[in-house]
Structure 1
């Protein structure tokens, strides 16, 4: 029997402080070990969302679901470009059709992903203890699910 491990990815939108090769190494170290027979749920935003989507699509055979609070067209250009670039590797795009893109819509998206996953891997901005990433990690914890925290 083949078991598929469902994993939510969450992380900061602020990623310009590290070079891309450092992110590639972090993803190799912290996503790679989980990628065999995995299904990743990734928010369709800029930053960690776009970077992990591109890395997972190019370096693993994992199933990939992109989840957005409204529609893909409403996402930032960086995120739309990442989705378009690897569209043939994306298993599913989930558009939650929030009437307004605000903090509540993004939190609902994050809870949706956690509710569909067995664990969460988070990449919060180092030193920042209050963010959407931390809310997602705390929600994962409150659901009694494992979570891995990788400050960047």
Structure 2
């Protein structure tokens, strides 16, 4: 049986170096890396792109990218991560929202959680806020899905 994990996280990642993120992913995504695990990522900048690149280079797991509109509408950094990892991406889901606004991103996040068995979130360190990362983590919790929170 294939298990599915949604990954969500902050777009603000400049406060750490790449080695720090690689270590975090090895510690907190590594235990889930398995050919029978599928990862869902949002295809945005920040944690989405960094986790995609780490998984593509370190895992044999299935990888699905979910975007609210199309890949061409994603920021350049995210498009580059997707292009670099294309040979490792199992599927790209383009939800084709008419407008890339908060409701479209929330719909993307709910789609990932609805298709997953658990959520791993990498929010900015500090108090819980109203960011998309926290909304995704909380939506997973409301659905009764296990969630792992790794502040960055």
TM-score by length of 1: 0.97
Q: Offset at 1:112?
A: 0.2
Name the structure 1 match of 2:87: 88
Q: What 5-or-longer segments of structure 2 have no aligned partner?
A: none
Aligned to 2:108: 109
Q: 2:47: which partner in 1?
A: 48
CA distance in 1, matches of 2:104, 2:136: 13
SS for the counterpart of 2:64 is strand
> Which secondary structure does the structure 2 equivalent of 1:70 belong to?
coil
Task: Name structure 1 gaps, 5 residues minimum.
Answer: none
Displacement of 1:93 = 0.2
SS in 2 for 1:79: helix
User: Residue 125 of structure 2 corresponds to which residue in structure 1?
Assistant: 126
TM-score normalised over the length of structure 2: 0.97
Cα distance in 1 for partners of 2:125, 2:85 equals 29
Q: What are the residue-to-residue correspondences of 1:29-68 with 2, within 5 Å?
A: 29-36=27-34, 37-68=36-67
Shift, 1:104, TM fit:
0.6
Which of 6, 18, 37 aligns to 1:20? It is 18
CA drift of 1:5 comes to 1.3
Tell me the matched-pair count: 150
Distance 1:47 1:41 in 2: 15
SS of match in other structure, 1:21: helix
User: Residue 4 of structure 1: CA displacement?
Assistant: 1.5
Deviation for aligned residue 1:128: 4.7
**Alpha-carbon distance in structure 2 between the residues aligned to 1:132 and 1:82:** 20
Give the Å deviation of 1:102: 0.4
